[in-house]
Amino acid sequence: MSAPLVQLVNIPQHGDTRGKLSVAELGGVLPFAVRRVYWIHGTKLGVSRGFHAHKKLRQLYVCVSGSVRLSLFDGHREESVVLDSSAKGLLIGPGLWREMHDFSPDCVLMVFADAEYDEADYIRDREAFIRHVTG
């Protein structure tokens, strides 16, 4: 059986009477040292994003507010997962085409990455991606 495309991790949450505090740290849910954090928010109704893969980049996606559906494709199989909790993280490695759909208006999607932004690491054409992963 091939490895699952969707790699979900449980983010430790420390709750008390004041509310919650969630932690993503190296050696905990983060299997890599973070060199960049960005977040996607204020997404307009009906907009989908992503439509690319990375050659090397590793990322952890956490939907800290609202919800979003991530679709992952490895060139053969497609799997979809809804992120709707700040206690859930989605690890995405290289060689996965990703699309983001169904953003709720209050969605804040935080992304932790192991490298700085580099357009040369992107594959933005789906056919080129399929050629990249299938050789």
Active-site residue set? 52
Cα distance between residue 108 and residue 43, in whole Å: 9
Is 37 strand, coil or helix?
Answer: strand
Contact flag: residue 94 with ligand TYD (CB under 6 A): no
Q: How many CB atoms lie within 10 A of CB 22?
A: 16
Among residue numbers 115 through 134, which ones bind ligand TYD (CB under 6 A)?
117
Nearest to 93 by CA among 55, 62, 127: 55
CA-to-CA distance for 119 and 60, rounded, in angstroms? 19
Binding mask 99-118 for ligand TYD (x = CB under 6 A): ------------------x-
Q: Which is nearer to ligand TYD, 49 or 88 (CB)?
A: 49
Look up residue 47 and give its two tokens: 């907009």
Q: Which of 22, 32, 52, 91 binds ligand TYD (CB under 6 A)?
A: 52
Q: In whole angstroms, how close is the CB of 18 to ligand TYD at the nearest point?
A: 32
Residues that bind ligand TYD (CB under 6 A): 36, 38, 40, 49-50, 52, 117
